[in-house]
Structure 1
Amino acid sequence: MVKTGHVIRQMTYQPVGAAVETMTFDRLRELNDGGTQRGDFHVLAIVDAGRGSVTVDFLRHPLRERSAVWVVPGAVHRWDDIAGVAGHVVLFVPTAPVTDATRELVASPLAHWSVPAADWPFVDAARNHLVLETSARPADELPEILLSALIARLRPRRADASPANPVFRLFQSSVETHFRDHHDAGYYARALGYAPRTLTRAVQRATGRSAKAYLVDRIVLEAKRLLAHDRLTAAACAAALGFPDASNFSVFFRKATGMRPGAWQASLSCAAEDPPRRRPGRGPVR
């Protein structure tokens, strides 16, 4: 279970020059205090050697040799055990990739995966070139180009992220924008101009779940983030997520998780409050 503090560290990426940064795990260990954090930027960790773990949105992912972990903007994460891990962490804004293909990959990456042995030399070379260029802090778009090359080599793509399913892509993007205001899958079908059955087939083909289930999962994830890390009450969560009142939200949450919001929140082990501090990297945090 995730240990959480009463305040999550909100981190805003404000790049100086290029919209990409790199750091070693040695540097990350210097900056990391073990607290939970949520940023508006991508965090891509590439592990060369050692073992450890990182918790992302209530799921713990192992850090192992020749593996990668991707933390998307908005996800809550905590570096649990990185004492023996060697490798690099890449930080970048969502708009940094320069090709359509890599933007597609960035839109819905895997959370954790192992890099195949045959792919590792290419991933290693792409990563090292990116590290070299970011260390020089160039003013041009070389880091963004090299980031795109690294992403293409890593191929961290979900099965549901195929460009061959544009209907799901549009639905996914619309849900991210409107899930706090619209909880009815029919709204998204109407807004996107598709028949409900067309939307349902596209989402099921991409995820194996219905459009309604996908939407519910997204709302529940945000509710858990608010309950666990921001320590909001059920009433405050209801207001933040567009429910008419706390009772309505509680019924929704219990139906989806089997627990009332307060009981789920109380089941978490609370750590000491996270002190505010700067995001690892050059840019300031607000």
Structure 2
Amino acid sequence: MHLIRQMTYQPAGRAASVETMTFAHLRELNDGGSQRADFHVLAVIDTGPGSVTVDFRLHRLRERAAIWIPPGAVHRWDDIAEVTGHVVLFIPAAPVTDATRELVAFPDLAAYWPIPDADWPYVDTARHHLLLETSAPPSVSSTQLPGILLSALVARLHPPHADIPLAHPVFRSFRSSVEANFRQHHDAGYYARALGYAPRTLSRAVQQATGRTAKAYIVDRIILEAKRLLAHDRLTAARCATTLGFPDASNFSVFFRKATGVPPGAWQAALPPE
């Protein structure tokens, strides 16, 4: 699928922040293959059914629902022949409010959720206001409006992960540090020292925010990246080891097998053909 090539972001200007398209247009671009974008893909679904796979998890699409695919996620639109709605493509810097920028920065985004009936009129209005603005001729005075309206849409959608980052400041710092350093540092002790927290304090904060230990959170993040590299980039175990900071392919393979139950080569071989 050539969706990435359709993005024409520039360093400045309205087109550099937000673009929109219908599912009809998405169907024209879709070749059934997987993709990994460096921008966010946020979809508001009017009607279904359909399906999309995000980071190796299949989601069945229904009416009045949302899909959020963050940068770096491997995804594939499996079945969207009957789906109607709109897709919003935006760079991480596009939202303008602190709360929505915090949501966009969150690496563990909820990929799919139904929109409650009580919220639907507000979501629908925010979505159409954004569509109207992105279809208007650009002008100097309107360059910030798409980001403002995108922030309104994100706030009205209120994704399930919305309350996690603001409620756990220790976890928020840990999450950001892991996202920046997981390729080089695999142990929880490094993050505790780097952030100035006692290991127990850090582990307790991560457990409260995610239900996982700090070590498990790091392992899960490394494994997710490994799967993305194996599936989309089709790297070998040796290349994955180098990319993810392991001393050699054997060390990486043991790590991967311990976490998933299968060697990386076998996991890669079991993937469906592109």
| TM-score, scaled relative to structure 1 | 0.88
The correspondence of residues 1-286 of structure 1 with structure 2, limited to 5 A, is: 11=4, 13-16=7-10, 17-18=13-14, 19-108=17-106, 109-139=109-139, 140-158=143-161, 161-271=164-274
Q: Distance in 2 between matches of 1:100 and 1:137?
A: 28
Q: Does the CA contact (< 8 Å) of 1:21 and 1:92 recur in 2?
A: yes
Q: Distance in 1 between matches of 2:26 and 2:271?
A: 26
Farther off after superposition, 116-125 or 254-263: 254-263
- CA deviation after TM superposition for structure 1 residue 232, in Å: 1.3
- What is aligned with 1:4? none
Larger relative helix fraction: 2
Corresponding residue SS for 1:230 = coil
Identify unmatched segments of 5+ residues in structure 1: 1-7, 272-286
Counterpart residue identity of residue 65, structure 1: E
Q: Distance in 1 between matches of 2:202 and 2:3?
A: 34
Q: Does the CA contact (< 8 Å) of 1:20 and 1:96 recur in 2?
A: yes
Corresponding residue SS for 2:51 = strand
Q: Residues 30 and 232 of structure 1: is their aligned pair in 2 closer, same or farther, counting only changes over 3 Å?
A: same
| TM-score, scaled relative to structure 2 | 0.92
Q: Does the CA contact (< 8 Å) of 2:182 and 2:218 recur in 1?
A: yes
- CA deviation after TM superposition for structure 1 residue 162, in Å: 3.5
Corresponding residue SS for 1:163 = helix
Q: Deviations over 1:139-182 (max 9, x none)?
A: 42000000000001000141772402011111111111111000
What is the CA RMSD across the aligned residues, in angstroms? 1.6
Q: Distance in 2 between matches of 1:127 and 1:176?
A: 30
- CA deviation after TM superposition for structure 1 residue 14, in Å: 4.1
Counterpart residue identity of residue 164, structure 2: A
Q: Distance in 1 between matches of 2:52 and 2:137?
A: 28
Counterpart residue identity of residue 214, structure 1: Y
Q: Does the CA contact (< 8 Å) of 2:173 and 2:195 recur in 1?
A: yes
Q: Distance in 1 between matches of 2:193 and 2:212?
A: 19
Corresponding residue SS for 1:73 = coil
Q: Deviations over 1:59-100 (max 9, x none)?
A: 011221000000000001111101101100000000111000
Q: Does the CA contact (< 8 Å) of 1:160 and 1:206 recur in 2?
A: no
- CA deviation after TM superposition for structure 1 residue 39, in Å: 0.7
- CA deviation after TM superposition for structure 1 residue 130, in Å: 0.1
Q: Does the CA contact (< 8 Å) of 2:103 and 2:162 recur in 1?
A: no
- CA deviation after TM superposition for structure 1 residue 46, in Å: 0.5
Q: Distance in 1 between matches of 2:227 and 2:64?
A: 31
Counterpart residue identity of residue 15, structure 1: Y
Q: What count of residue pairs does the alignment treat as equivalent?
A: 264
Counterpart residue identity of residue 64, structure 1: R
Q: Does the CA contact (< 8 Å) of 1:105 and 1:155 recur in 2?
A: no
Q: Distance in 1 between matches of 2:125 and 2:260?
A: 44
- CA deviation after TM superposition for structure 1 residue 105, in Å: 1.9
Corresponding residue SS for 1:61 = strand
